[in-house]
Amino acid sequence: MTVPALPDRQSATNPARLPALADPTGPPVRRSAGPVAKAAATAARAAGGGGLVAGAVAAWQAGVPWWAAAGGLAGTAATSRVSAKRAAQAGRLRLDESDPLAAIRAQAEKAGGGAFIGLDHGRGGIVHAPAESAVLVLGPPRRGKSTSVVIPSVLTAPGAVVSTSTKPDVLMATAPARSRYGTVWAFDPTGQADLPDGVRRLRWSPLDAAGDWGAAKRIAAAMVGASPAAKGTRHESHWTSRASALLGPLLYAAASVRMETRDVVGWVLSGDVDTANMILEHVADRGDADADLACMVLGGVQRAADQERQSIWSATADVIDVYTTGQALDSCERSNWEPHQFTASADTVYVAAPAEHQAAVAPLVVALIEAVRDAQYQRHRAAELAGIPAGKPVTLALDEVANIAPIASLPALVSEAGGQGLHTIAAVQDLSQVRGRWGSDIADGFLSLFQHLVVLPGIRDTKTLEALSVICGEWDRPQTSTTRTRTKSREPFKVRSQSISLAQTTNFSTTRQRQLPPGEIYGMPDGQALYLSGSGWRHITLAPHYTHPRWQTALASAPGRIVVWGHPDTHQQPAHTQEQAQARAAHPARAGRALHHRHDRHQASQPGPGDLAGAGGQGGREHTDQAGSGHERRPGGPAPDGLDGAAAPQPDRRSDDGRGLSAGREGAAQ
């Protein structure tokens, strides 16, 4: 019996063990052909490259058998197709030498505008996730989360970017390139981070986003959810809910009369609820029904038992603990940044808090992300109502999301944001981090929230490895067993008679086993990653920004230093973008209501701080009108630093090729 050959482990049934793919930019593999087939192919080329028909005629004239000529011509055609395919892949990997930075951005936008994943030479070279999908990066420290995924994704993001990280690596690597297209901001609530020249300190307060009662509640819930207050306690959900119920009305009361953040901090630390109550009652008398609701919520907190009420105030104090220093309070006064303008730009916000303060600033980072989310959702809805394109997506590059940006509503954000122009890239070390921050229930389904997963080598958490191994599926491994028997026999009454018989039995079976055991996921070679998307998976090659020629070429074409748009001490709102102008032209009233926050709804009717002096008001907040974002990109405005006497370069809002910067960019790089 003929025993069939067993399938090699390096086969399609187990793609994890496929050999490394050849470089698509290398020469095509040509298989040798027989002399007759070579003669047929040569005859075809001699006939002027007319294709298979010309080759067949030339072969017939040369006396080549038809069967040999057909084989030779088919092999030649297949080789030509392979050469054309690899040439196309090489073209996609090759950058425009005149402007490599613009080229990688254009390639990313054409590929969907989402995160850069890596290189897969077998499927077109460059792998980008679509902007409508969320991306999760799993990997231990120093294995390439930032260098291979986050930094390339920030470089190629076509729209605005919010980047969080526990280290300044992302800012230092991408700020000059990002400054070519928009303002580079650094959000440091502590005011202690050392920033490179050209990076603008972002001044913003949660009060700026709390002018609407619904927004005030969302901001309060986000801040409390990111705070260590009540974490790990027996009734954690109760305490976080009650702390949100206290902080929300306080924020809304202060925002309604444009008071300062230091006023809210004073109320919380002193347990003063009377001032906020008086403000809300006064605003409610002016016809604001939301103020009446906020007053009722605040009254419910005050009616709690003494011990419970004290615990609520204590938990709320933990939330605003970062604002107990003068530097932190100064960082939120005279706001120079506005989320609606940001989402319609190509600006970049880097969270730059020192490592020792990251737990304290996490509530404010989450509040800022919540404000960006609200602004982007409103922008997307306004575009839909106006019947115009929604514009470029906003990217949230959340490296070490469990530490610096622990968004309590992350599952909801991941599931709904993609359809509203908000692209999320979350990076964690493993599922144990998720379990510690969001709990076991969310950790168990965390991998299912993200449509695209990038797994780096070196993960040691067994639950994470087991979950990934199960997701990768199983396969039926063929097995063959052979049994050989030898039998001796003697005929009766014959002394020297003996016979020997041999028998062989072969059995075929299959064994169900994992395509990728946990050990293989852990032991992937450096420079390789596991990429899961849809219902499939494959190995890809990482492309770190500091070694791969693609990024080195693009970064070399970036400005020599960070370009400053406008003057950092001015508070002037940029001119409306082309996208907003189109929305207003199509539906002025409807687009205006959606594109602007409801914070200014009561500016004409609400009392100022001086009106409440006799009612317990504690001083007024110096009003900075909504023209206070500090972008200053109007023609004829102040020139960027280092460009004295030259016209200020203007960001190109219409395309990503950088042509709108021309001489201004060249001057800034000198």
Q: What is the DSSP string of 539-583?
A: EEE---TTT-HHHHHHHHTS-SSPPP-S-TT---PPPPPHHHHHH
Indicate the domain borders of the chain: 33-93, 99-199+336-474+516-564, 205-334+597-628
The dihedral region occupied by 389, where left means phi > 0, alpha psi between -120 and 50, and beta the remainder, is: beta
Per-residue pLDDT tens over the stretch 223-277: 998 887 656 555 677 888 899 999 999 999 999 999 999 999 999 999 999 999 9
The angle subtended at Cα 214 by Cα 294 and Cα 272, nearest 5°, is 35
pLDDT digits (tens, 9 = 90+) for 595-607: 333 334 334 344 4
pLDDT of res. 665: 35
Kind plus residue range of the DSSP H or E element containing 279: helix 274-285
- Give the tokens for residue 474: 């199983």
Q: For residue 65, what pLDDT band results from cuts at 50, 70 and 90?
A: low
Q: For residue range 93-127, list pLDDT tens digits in order.
A: 455 567 899 999 998 888 888 999 999 877 668 89
Half-sphere exposure of 7 (CA within 13 A, CB side): 17
**DSSP calls for 150-190:** IHHHHHH-SS-EEEE-SSTHHHHHHHHHHHTTS-EEEE-TT
Predicted pLDDT at 380: 94
Cβ burial, residue 411 (10 Å; 0-12/13-18/19+): middle
What is the rounded average pLDDT for all residues in the chain?
Answer: 75
Residue 484 above 70 pLDDT? Answer: yes
Enter the CATH code of domain 99-199+336-474+516-564. Answer: 3.40.50.300
Cβ contacts of residue 304 below 8 Å, gap of 6+? 242, 312
3-class SS at 644? coil
Amino acid identity, residue 388?
A: I
DSSP state of 337: -
Q: How many Cβ atoms sit within 10 Å of the Cβ of residue 244?
A: 24
**What are the structure tokens assigned to 13, written together?**
């049934």
Pairing of strands 394-399, 161-164: parallel
pLDDT band for 20, please (50, 70, 90 cuts): very low
The average pLDDT across 585-590 equals 39
Report residue 139's pLDDT band, with 50, 70 and 90 as the boundaries: very high
Per-residue exposure over 619-647, b if at least 16 CB sit within 10 Å of its own CB, e if not? ebbeebebebbbbbbeeebbbbbbbeeee
Three-state SS letters, 235-278: CHHHHHHHHHHHHHHHHHHHHHCCCCHHHHHHHHHHCCCHHHHH
Average pLDDT over residues 180-196: 90
Higher pLDDT, 35 or 608: 35
Q: How many other C-beta atoms can be found within 10 angstroms of the C-beta atom of residue 387?
A: 10
Alpha-carbon span 261 to 489, nearest angstrom: 102
Judge contact between 645 and 635, C-beta under 8 A.
Answer: no
> Residue 429: pLDDT band by 50, 70, 90 thresholds?
very high
Task: Give Rg (Cα) of the chain.
Answer: 33
